[in-house]
Amino acid sequence: MPDLKKSIAYLYLQQTALERETLYNRPHPDIAPAEPFKRYPSSPKLLLPRRWDGEETNFWKLLQRRRSHRNFSTESMELTELSLLLWAAQGITGQAGSYYFRTAPSAGALYPVETYVVAVDVEGAEPGLYHFDIRGFQLEQLRSGRLEGELVAASLGQGMIRNSAAVFVWTAVLRRTMSKYGHRGLRYIFLDAGHICQNLLLAAEALGLGACPVAAFFDRELNSLLGVDGEEETAIYMAVVGRKN
């Protein structure tokens, strides 16, 4: 397929393939690292509940049952549920020196992915945009008010968002991973995001909620909704969560 071979995607894969002969002397771009955690110090904080008294669920049944749900009832989500979803996606589960290990694996333990939540209908969280402060296990409120309209428009008109309870938006701070792995690091960033999203999807299923991954969005519009520049940090993935209808 000559057309495939001319594509930017194919060239990227070719040029970022590891080769035995050049493993230690391949050209490596000089990319400065970035802070491992993002914080919004002046934003209002919403502490997330850490307790969970719900029932245990069978992991194998969860795998069998998980399906993408796009049809939600208008019932709200509890803050405890949102808290569990965030913990499943990116919660800290261990520490070694300056490394904070998470529920989802990350290439080089560099954790390039940041989580933002648009609260549509969450009891105990005003509608608006929040950033997940992973170490503080709290939400940092960045915008208040209804953002569903903007989000639907930014995601190519995906109307399921209107009846959802919360929308997760994941960004990548590219330098965190690319400073170590160069151009190949971009592959790892997307793999990291996949792990995080799958954790969220399974956690949603465990809570009896419905969820759908979303990658169809207008990148610039979504970045502007989040207030990120699209260069140092850029939106890469989303998931819509709500009560199944």
Ligand X SMILES: Cc1cc2nc3c(=O)[nH]c(=O)nc-3n(C[C@H](O)[C@H](O)[C@H](O)COP(=O)(O)O)c2cc1C
Q: Is 119 in the site for ligand X (CB under 6 A)?
A: no
* Secondary structure of the chain as H, E, C letters: CHHHHCCHHHHHHHHCCCCCCCCCCCCCCCCCCCCCCCCCCCCCEEECCCCCCCCCCCHHHHHHHCCECCCECCCCECHHHHHHHHHHHHCEEEEECCEEEECCCCHHHCCCEEEEEEECCECCECCEEEEEECCCCEEEEEEECCCHHHHHHHCCCCHHHHHCCEEEEEEEEHHHHHHHHHHHHHHHHHHHHHHHHHHHHHHHHHCCEEEEEECCCCHHHHHHHHCCCCCCEEEEEEEEEEEEC
Task: Kindly indicate which of the ranges 7-15, 85-93, 209-217, 219-227 contains the residues binding ligand X, using the contact rule CB under 6 A.
Answer: 209-217
The binder of ligand X chosen from 215, 229, 232, 245 (CB under 6 A): 215
- Choose between 139 and 166: whose C-beta lies nearer to ligand X: 166
Rank residues 26 and 162 by Cβ distance to ligand X and give the closer one.
Answer: 162
70 is a contact residue toward ligand X (CB under 6 A): yes
Of these, 46, 189, 214, 239, which contacts ligand X (CB under 6 A)? 214
68 binds ligand X (CB under 6 A): yes
64 scored as a contact of ligand X (CB under 6 A):
no
Question: Which C-beta is closer to ligand X: that of 7 or that of 68?
Answer: 68
Q: Which residues form the interface with ligand X (CB under 6 A)?
A: 67-68, 70, 158, 212-216
